Amino acid sequence: MREVSYYPGCSLHGTAREYDESIQAVASLLHIRLHELENWTCCGASSAHCTDEALALALAARNLAIAERSDRELLVPCVACYHRFKVVEREAKEHPQNRTILYRGNVSIRYALDFFCEGSTLEELKTKLVKPLTGLKAVCYYGCLTVRPPKLTSIEDYENPQHMDRLLEVLGAEVLPWSYKTDCCGASLVVTRTDLVRKLSQRLLSMAREAEADCIVTGCTMCQANLDTRQEGLKRDAGGKFNLPVLYFTELIGLALGHKDVKKWLSRHITDPVRVLRAKGLV
């Protein structure tokens, strides 16, 4: 049994509950025990650093200091949280005299997508497939924070990442090539610059439709929310309805491994994924 610390972050206890539940379910199937951090608090993503940099560092550092009490690696599903943790990690190592940072830099911080795309995990998934995703055409949407800046993420192929592509291929899906896998969706500008979010989301959805994808797959809660919830409102500007499910990669792992709660996760999506998956004989 692999023992891993777990920081769900605010979104996974709210609007992204299906992501939280599918991560925990998949971890269990892969014999990974998640230890949720005791008394964790908001890390400040994605607005604290825009208003008070010292506070932003302190909020994230507090959670990392809790994780540092054990020798386990820390699994972080939300890419915004992951980004803030990596910023604090760099600050702790480059400026150890900074009294705002209560964290010493001794925790291995793992973004969930990277964690589940490890070679050993992919090999284990091959042996556990119950329902390969045969016939499902997907585009992988990494988003911008997942891979950038590379000095923080350590992703070498940040312009054209491939690790989620390899994961979906192991699960049996057909991964379609497209040029928008690391473009921005507008992220947390959804309230302050809704116009930009609408424009960026429409472009991504239009390009996924042009690629003839059945679905978009992501690991970012903000990307998922922007692309999933805006399709109805964008149909006039786009010249027709999209109907493109936006799925978390962990939901597809759970589906391919035959987990019993898949339909519960899928029921929380705004753009219904069941229709597409049923047409493919997957649910």
CATH 1.20.1050.140 residue window(s) in the chain: 2-113
| Phi, psi of 99, deg, nearest 5 | -75, -10
End-to-end CA distance of the chain: 30
Q: Which part of the chain is CATH 3.40.50.11810?
A: 130-279
CATH topology of domain 2-113: Glutathione S-transferase Yfyf (Class Pi); Chain A, domain 2 (1.20.1050)
Over the stretch 95-140, which tens digit does the pLDDT of each residue have?
Answer: 988 877 889 899 999 999 999 999 999 999 999 999 999 999 999 9
Residue with tokens 């509950």: 17
Residue 260, token pair as written in the block: 């019993």
Structure tokens at 160: 């054209």
Using N-to-C axis directions, what is the helix angle for 194-210 and 231-238, rounded to 10°?
70
Pick the CATH number of 130-279 from 3.40.50.11810, 3.40.50.2020, 3.40.50.880, 3.30.428.10: 3.40.50.11810
Closest CA to 112 of 151, 73, 140, 150: 73
Q: What is the pLDDT of residues 246-270, one digit of tens each?
A: 999 999 999 999 999 999 999 999 9
Determine the angle formed by the axes of helices 194-210 and 221-229, rounding to 10 degrees: 80
